[in-house]
Amino acid sequence: MAYPKSTNPFADDEDDEDFRPKKDRGFDDDDFGDSRLSEAERRQQRLEQEVMRTAKSAVDSTYRSIGLIYESEKMGIDTAEELVRQGEVLKRSDKMLDNMDQDLNTSQKSINTIKSVWGGLVNYFKKPETKPPPEEPKPYQASDRLQTALSNSRGNEEKYQASHPNLRKLETEGFGAAASNDGSYGQNGYSKNRVLRDAHQTLDNNLDDMSVGLQRLKSLGLGLQSEIDNQDASIDSLMNKVDKMDSRIHNMDQQMKRLK
């Protein structure tokens, strides 16, 4: 018994051939877009597109680097300001220890007069000593190197905020398309392609900003190290004063016990 052609199960493969996706039929993406281009021209077009992608990636990378420099510098400024506040605390502590030392001197004189009868009579007729008014504490001054570095970094904060990638829209969308097929370079070293020329100029500007920013970071780091060294010396001086004062208080306590 013969089957009609329309019911032949093998006929669908031939009928559906024209409805397959073109990638299943062996066609490339370039069959329609650049079918009239030669192999060399297609290769040149792919190279230009790759150059555009590389330029965009490089510009984006420099903007991210500038953002990281800004974040590092902001952290350095915050650290420096905290160090200055810590220096003020150390200065007040040093002044407090000096006042306590003067009080201990007065207490020692009182103990000495109590131990002597004649000293007690002299102390009775002696006019009480008047303490001079306390001096107004001078504001704390950080190291010169740190003050200079802080001044330079704070002066560029607005500029960094304006160029920070998270605070501005990067204008690198045009790097995805070739604005010109001319890949030659002019006398200034920049490409005659407008998009690539803008990309190279942006890269140069960003690299200059990165260089200056890194110099400021270096200066800020050296300033922080200088301030830390100064405060380490202040802490050592405070510790010596505390040890001497503790010894004096213990000695005076023993003298008071013997007077009982």
72 contact partners, CB below 8 Å, separation of at least 6: 217
Residue 3: predicted pLDDT: 46
Residue 179: predicted pLDDT: 42
Domain of 200, in residue numbers: 35-91+189-234
Residue 257: predicted pLDDT: 80
CA-to-CA distance for 33 and 179, rounded, in angstroms?
17
- 227 part of a folded domain: yes
- 251 part of a folded domain: no
- 120 part of a folded domain: no
Residue 125: predicted pLDDT: 58
CATH number for the domain harbouring residue 222 = 1.10.287
- 225 part of a folded domain: yes
- CA 165, distance to chain mean position in Å, is 15
- 81 part of a folded domain: yes
- 53 part of a folded domain: yes
Residue 34: predicted pLDDT: 55
In eight-state DSSP terms, residue 156 is T
Residue 185: predicted pLDDT: 46
CA-to-CA distance for 164 and 206, rounded, in angstroms?
11
Count: domains in the chain: 1
- 159 part of a folded domain: no
End-to-end CA distance of the chain: 138
Is residue 218 within 8 A of residue 153, CB to CB? The reply is: no
Residue 218: predicted pLDDT: 94
Is residue 170 within 8 A of residue 41, CB to CB? The reply is: no
- pLDDT by 10s per residue, the chain, length 260: 444 454 554 444 444 444 444 444 443 444 445 567 788 888 888 888 888 889 889 999 998 998 899 889 999 999 999 999 999 999 999 999 998 998 888 888 877 777 665 555 555 555 555 666 656 667 788 889 999 999 888 887 776 666 555 555 444 454 544 444 444 444 444 556 787 888 888 999 999 999 999 999 999 999 999 999 999 999 999 999 999 999 999 998 888 888 76
| The residue to which tokens 């001044």 are assigned | 151
Residue 37: predicted pLDDT: 75
Residue 165: predicted pLDDT: 55
- 106 part of a folded domain: no
CA-to-CA distance for 97 and 87, rounded, in angstroms?
15
